[in-house]
Structure 1
Amino acid sequence: MTSNTFDVSLLKISKTDVIDVKAVGGDTHLSGEDFDTTLVNYSIQEFKKKISEDVRGNPRAMGRLKVACEKAKRDLSSSIFAAIEIDCLYEGIDFSIRISRAKFEELNSSYSEKCIKLVEKCLFDGEIKKKDVDEVVVVGGSTRIPKVQRLVEEFFDGKTLCKNMNGDEAVAFGAAILAARLSGNY
């Protein structure tokens, strides 16, 4: 199951491991899928420039393009360039482009900036200054994008991000805390 949301949580953990949720925030309409969609739209434009055909009316071609763009996004998390290559994308016509991480970041700059605004708002809501944050833990889809990581590090004045937590475990842990709080057992 995929989550189409960008979530931010601000926690205060005491020396005795008591967790106090200071603030939560996010956007249910911002996710890694938005970054994929931007790349899909860019690819459609590039195909149209080369072939003068619009693939939007072909569900099979669109599905294949979406899969290829999602893979390219993942590849760009660890490489500077990625290829989007699809044999017989539309009416027997092959499609192939190479995209740089810089171009991907440019295409998605508004989403990256939106992620930082959500972090900023969560700190404001929790009445915590960024200098008072001891550790920044990032998990999940869009936090794997180097530009998002860079912006978060810059926002926290160069603080090293903790990126080694399993996303599913983090979500399960947070859900358990929320359930305990709602039931009054926390």
Structure 2
Amino acid sequence: MKKWSFKVINEAEKPKIQVEYKHETKVFTFEEISSLILAKMKEIAETYLDQNVTEAVIAVPAYFNDAQRQATKDAAIIAGLYVLRIINAPTLAAIAYGLNSKVSAV
């Protein structure tokens, strides 16, 4: 098994991630880690679109429960995004397929 460069710890009955960075120990919640990823994605989108991004529709795996969906929403808020909707990834794939398909009425 590959050794992880972080530890999962129990702090106040909540799992957190402990990392060593530049000889300093830092502790993050899972929401904070997700928010770092979302913030980077926001930055990339803003660079590509050449405008501010403030709202998002976020796709999550279909098996995410309500707590995981809420944690994803919380992460987006930390990243500076207003969440318009949380959508299942398979639903998003179907919508994208529908947008790219040229369906004609019979």
TM-score (norm 2): 0.48
Q: Which one has more relative contact order, counting CA pairs under 8 Å at least 6 apart?
A: 2
Indicate the structure (1 or 2) with the bigger Cα radius of gyration: 1
More strand by share: 2
Q: TM-score, with normalisation over the residues of structure 1?
A: 0.32
